[in-house]
Amino acid sequence: MKKLFGTDGIRGKAGISPITPEEVYKLAYIFAKKTNYRNIAIGWDTRESSLWIANAVISGLKDANSNSEILGCVPTPVLAYTVKENFDGGIMITASHNPFEDNGLKFFNGKGEKIETSIEKEVEKEFFQSKIKPKIENFLKNQLIFNKDLTEKYLLRIAEKISIKSISKTYPVDCANGATSLFIKFASEKYGIDFQPYNTNPNGKNINFKCGAAKPEFIRKNSFAFDGDGDRIMAKDENENIVNGDIILMFLADKLKIKKLVGTVMTNMAVEIFCKNRNIQFERTPVGDKFVREKMKEINASLGGETSGHIILSDLNHTGDGFAVYLKMLELFNKENIALKNLTENYPLFPQKVINIPVKEKVPFENIKGFEQLKEKVEEILENEGRFFPRYSGTENLLRILIEGKDKEKIEQCEKIIKEFFNKTEV
C-alpha cells in the first residue's frame, strides 16, 4: 500500500500532493470519520500555506460532522496539551523543522498523543480508495491569531509543575520565526519573565531560515532555541558548543533522579554508557517522538527524547515540548547555579556525524551497488569503538548515515570516505 505518514505525521511541498487543498480536505474528513472524534482542535505554524490548509481542514471536518475549535498559531505542544484537557482529537498544521515551502499535518488522539500506527494505516487506505468531492470554504482570513484563553490554561498548568518564582535569570531563546513567536510574548506577559526571545517576526517565509533548533549553527552563544512548531529544544553554550537533545536527556536524568530513560537508534552512545554507570534502564526506539512516547508508556518511564531535541518529560506534557523543557531547565539552572557550559563539560558526547545524502527514491540498501562494502570499510576503521547506522528520513527524501565513535579523527576519515562514495554513486 502507498504511504502517506512518515515518522511524524504527513509532510510535503505545499500545493503538491498530498498537501493540496483537496487532499488535505480528504485527510481531515477521513480522520474524523475513522476516529469518530466530534470536537477537534486545530492549530498551525507561521508558514504562508498554513491558512489555506487550515480552511481545507476545517471544511473537511465540518462535512464529517465534527466541530473545529480554532487554537490558531500556537506551538504543537500547546495543541497537544489542550486536546488532552478539552477535546476528542487534534490536527496541527506544520512541517516542523522543514523549510517554509513544505507543510503537513500532525494528528493527535484524545490523550494529546500522536495517533496510533493502526489509525494511520486506516486513514491511508481510505485516502487512496476514496472518491470524496471536496467543498472548501474560506473560514479564516488571518493567520497570526491564537486562542488566548486556551493558551493561558496551558501556561497555568505548566506553572503548577514548575517554580516560576524561582526563575530570575533567563537565557535568550530563538523562536525560529515560528509558532512560538506570538506565544513566547504572551507567556512572558503572563509569567512576568523576560525570556529575551529573538527571531520572533514571522513573515510566512522565514520560519527555520538560518535560525532555530533545526539550524543549530545559527543559534547565538549562551542561548536556547525552539524549532518551527516548538516541539524541539536545543542550545549553544558560551564556547559555541551545541547542547543537543542527548545532552539535555543526560542533564535531566541526572538532576531529576530518573530511573528509566528512552532514546532512539540515533541517540549518542554516551547516553547509553551514562545510563549504565548510573544504573538507569535505557531503551532505544525507531526515530520519531511517537515511538519514544509509546516505549515510555510501556516501561513506565517519565523521560525520553531524541538527539534532535524532542524531549518528553511526561510530568509536563505527553509530547515533545520545547517551552516546558526550557522552563524546567531554567528552574534547575537558577536553583543550583548551573550554566549552559556546565552541561557540555559534565555530559560529553562521543564524536558523531550525521551525513545527509539527497535521494530520488528510498531503495533498499542492498540495492545500492557497493553499499555493503562501504559499510564494512567504515566499520573496520571504527573497530569495536563505534557504529555505522544508515536510515532514510521519515520526513524528507534523504539518506541519513550516522557514524559515531570515540576517536574524532576516525569519524572524519569515515565521513570523507562516505562522501566520496556518494559523489560517484547515484541514489
The residues annotated with a catalytic role in the active site are 96
Question: Cell 500556537, residue?
Answer: 74
Cell reading at 365: 540498501
C-alpha torsion 262→267→272→275, nearest 10: -50
Q: How many residues does the chain have?
A: 427
Alpha-carbon dihedral sign for residues 317, 250, 179, 65: negative
Q: With beta carbons less than 8 A apart as the criterion, state whether 207 and 242 touch.
A: no
Cα 296 to chain centroid distance, Å, stands at 17
Q: With beta carbons less than 8 A apart as the criterion, state whether 377 and 417 touch.
A: yes
- DSSP bridge partners of 378: none
Strand ranges inside 326-397, DSSP E: 352-358, 386-392
Longest dimension (CA), the chain: 61
For residue 158, CA distances in Å to 23, 78, 314 come to: 36, 10, 12
Write the CB contacts of 405 (distance below 8 Å, at least 6 apart in sequence).
Answer: 350, 351, 382, 385, 386, 387, 411
Q: With beta carbons less than 8 A apart as the criterion, state whether 221 and 284 touch.
A: no
Q: With beta carbons less than 8 A apart as the criterion, state whether 402 and 389 touch.
A: yes
Question: Cell 523576560, residue?
Answer: 194
For residue 287, CA distances in Å to 242, 267, 308 come to: 21, 9, 10
For residue 219, CA distances in Å to 45, 78, 212, 401 come to: 20, 23, 6, 24
- Residue 337 falls in which region: left (phi positive, over 0), alpha (psi -120 to 50) or beta: left
